[in-house]
């Protein structure tokens, strides 16, 4: 009998616990009523089938919609970034053509500069050659003038020598004639007169 009373007491305790747990409302349930969302199983309205965009257009749209970083950048970098974002095959070909054309123009300018420098060097060499030639001509003219002066002086000296020789020849002729006359007269005079060396005899 004692066991039965203990079992009855335990049943009564558990029954009261169940009643209190089911009947006492929680403060959350009293303050805010809860509502369970019911899923909507209605079908969406029919829409026309839109064309599926290709991978290139989706990438382009994604690039166009991608936000630009707010970091510090120069206008040139911004333009380059925008150009890369909007680059198409035609734009790539155009940019390559422009780069090739710019390189060709740069090489053309460098070639023209080299040719101009070479032409200037050739002109300098020609000017130096002309200067040397002018110096040579002046030296030749001076040499020719000196030679002409020497010829003139030689001719003058030779003429003076001829005149002197002619004068000497005439003097020698006169001396010879004087000696001949003196000898002739001496042979014609007597001997005493000759001993007096042409002096007249004393009276």
The three-class DSSP label of residue 178 is helix
The pLDDT, as a whole number, for residue 93 is: 86
Q: What is the pLDDT of residues 153-186, one digit of tens each?
A: 888 888 888 888 887 777 767 676 676 667 666 6
Between 91 and 15, whose confidence is greater?
91
User: CA-CA distance, 12 to 79, in Å (whole number)?
Assistant: 85
**Residue indicated by tokens 């053309």:** 108
Tens digit of each residue's pLDDT (9 = 90 or more) over 72-120: 557 777 777 766 666 677 788 888 899 999 999 999 999 999 999 999 9
Contacts of 87 (CB under 8 A, 6+ apart): 95
Q: Give, in degrees to the nearest 5, the angle at Cα 198 between 195 and 203.
A: 85
Mean pLDDT of the chain: 69
């Amino acid at each position: 009998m004692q066991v039965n009373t203990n079992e009855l007491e335990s049943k009564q305790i558990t029954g009261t616990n169940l009643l209190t747990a089911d009947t006492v409302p929680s403060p959350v349930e009293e303050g805010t009523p809860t509502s369970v969302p019911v899923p909507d199983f209605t079908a969406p309205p029919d829409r026309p089938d839109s064309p599926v965009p290709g991978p290139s257009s989706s990438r382009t749209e994604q690039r166009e919609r991608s936000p630009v970083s707010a970091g510090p950048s120069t206008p040139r970098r911004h333009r380059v970034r925008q150009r890369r974002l909007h680059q198409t095959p035609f734009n790539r070909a155009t940019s390559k053509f422009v780069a090739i054309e710019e390189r060709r123009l740069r090489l053309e300018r460098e070639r023209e500069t080299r040719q101009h420098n070479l032409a200037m060097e050739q002109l300098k060499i020609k000017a130096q050659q002309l200067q040397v030639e002018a110096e040579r001509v002046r030296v030749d003219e001076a040499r020719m003038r000196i030679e002409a002066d020497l010829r003139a002086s030689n001719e003058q000296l030779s003429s003076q020598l001829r005149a002197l020789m002619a004068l000497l020849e005439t003097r020698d002729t006169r001396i010879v004639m004087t000696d001949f006359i003196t000898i002739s007269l001496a042979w014609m005079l007597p001997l005493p007169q000759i001993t007096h060396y042409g002096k007249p005899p004393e009276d």
